[in-house]
Amino acid sequence: MKGFEGTIQHLGLSLAAVCEQAAIASADWIGHGRKNEADGAATEAMRTWLNRMPMRGTVVIGEGELDEAPMLYIGETLGTGFGPRVDIAVDPLEGTALVADGLDNSLSVIALAPEGCLLHAPDTYMEKLAVGPAAVGQIDITAPLLTNLERTAKALGKDMREMTVSIQNRPRHREAIETVRRAGAKVALFQEGDVSCLIATAVPGAVPDLFYSIGGAPEGVVSAAAIRCLGGDMQGRLKPENAEQERRCLLMGVRPDQPLGLSDFVRSNDCLFAATGITDSLLLSGVRRTAAGQWAVHTMLGIGQGQQVYFLKSQKAGLKSPSPNFARA
């Protein structure tokens, strides 16, 4: 943790506000079949509002590399230039296809930690396993899924038939799905958006007891910050698909297949996590227009130090998001 000055907890509420603005900006695009426009609106709003925060931030997980010239590229510096030095991981629109198709489970998400404390994850797949606070220390990504399921059930004091495992509905997970069902437990399949499903394992009252899936590595780091704030547990392993991706893993200092724990993803308790629902999900309600013409938004804010987690319902005027331009369709 080099060059870190001051604490970051006081940035919590403004971080939540950044997510809210990104979610509101993309909400006009729900159901219009235009992934890029929805993503662009969320990204632009997130960047504008992050730049107003009193911090010296660097994007370590973003929308791409500098040479691809996206907004919120890896290495971009953000904030007013005064305040703590922080690493920023963003996913302005988690579930672009969901928003384009008007489906549930999309979020706007950010994680923040002191400089040098967030894993620089390459844009490859990652195998992920997560549980809530009652099963901390019970998961092992190198062990068979069945072992993880049995140990989690024991820690939760649940019968196998009461256990639910959240898994993304993909052919690559066929064996995992069969393993869980053969063991007598339930599988809650989801189509897209592993961040909300993974985090839900650590939220009291939410359905999944265990999360297992191979999904995006950047999403894994963002999710880990939330799990850290919630006091749950998570492990992962990068799953590069070719030699070029393997090279990128090594460049970022992570051996492919090296088991990663919560403190590898987020190397400090002093982290922040914020997510605002765009469409409804297990975690949060989506953005709504109120009768008074305001925006009603639902945001989760996690403050790692002290493991404080808030679910905030706010009403705001919001940025005027650009109306969908159907002429360009």
Q: Does 95 bind ligand VTB (CB under 6 A)?
A: yes
Q: Which is nearer to ligand VTB, 62 or 216 (CB)?
A: 216
The binding track of 194-213 with respect to ligand VTB, each residue x by CB under 6 A or -, is xx------------------
Q: Does 115 bind ligand VTB (CB under 6 A)?
A: no
Q: Does 39 bind ligand VTB (CB under 6 A)?
A: no
Stretch that binds ligand VTB, among 20-28, 186-194, 237-245, 282-290 (CB under 6 A): 186-194
Q: Does 62 bind ligand VTB (CB under 6 A)?
A: no
What is the DSSP annotation of 66-134?
Answer: GGG--TT-TT-EES-S-S-EEEEEEEEEE-HHHHHHT-S--EEEEEEEETT-B----SSEEEEEEE-GG
Q: Does 236 bind ligand VTB (CB under 6 A)?
A: no
Residue 241, exposed/middle/buried by CB under 10 A (0-12, 13-18, 19+)?
A: exposed
Q: Does 266 bind ligand VTB (CB under 6 A)?
A: no
Q: Which is nearer to ligand VTB, 55 or 107 (CB)?
A: 107
Task: List the one residue from 87, 192, 209, 233 that touches ligand VTB (CB under 6 A).
Answer: 192
Q: Does 216 bind ligand VTB (CB under 6 A)?
A: yes
User: Cβ neighbours of residue 148 under 8 Å, at least 6 residues apart?
Assistant: 129, 138, 139, 140, 210, 212
- Least CB distance to ligand VTB at residue 54 (A): 30
Q: How many CB atoms lie within 10 A of CB 121?
A: 26
Q: Does 193 bind ligand VTB (CB under 6 A)?
A: yes
Question: Whole-angstrom Cα distance, residue 114 to residue 251?
Answer: 22
Longest dimension (CA), the chain: 57
Q: How many residues bind ligand VTB (CB under 6 A)?
A: 10
Among 189, 188, 212, 238, residue whose Cα is nearest residue 129: 212
Stretch that binds ligand VTB, among 30-38, 40-48, 141-149, 190-198 (CB under 6 A): 190-198
Burial letters 89-118, b for 16+ CB under 10 A, else e: bbbbbbbbebbbbebbbbbbbbbbbbbbbb
Beta pairing class for 260-261 and 233-239: antiparallel
Instruction: Confirm if 179 and 186 have CB atoms less than 8 A apart.
Output: no
Task: List the one residue from 57, 114, 208, 215 that touches ligand VTB (CB under 6 A).
Answer: 215
- Least CB distance to ligand VTB at residue 153 (A): 25
Q: Does 104 bind ligand VTB (CB under 6 A)?
A: no
Q: Does 94 bind ligand VTB (CB under 6 A)?
A: yes
Amino acid at 261: G
Stretch that binds ligand VTB, among 18-26, 63-71, 215-223, 232-240 (CB under 6 A): 215-223
User: Cβ neighbours of residue 58 under 8 Å, at least 6 residues apart?
Assistant: 75, 76, 77, 78, 85, 86, 87, 88, 115
The binding track of 132-171 with respect to ligand VTB, each residue x by CB under 6 A or -, is --------------------------------------x-
Q: Which residue's beta carbon is nearest to the bound ligand VTB?
A: 215
Q: Which is nearer to ligand VTB, 164 or 223 (CB)?
A: 223
Among 64, 92, 65, residue whose Cα is nearest residue 222: 92
* Sites of contact with ligand VTB (CB under 6 A): 94-95, 170, 192-195, 215-216, 219
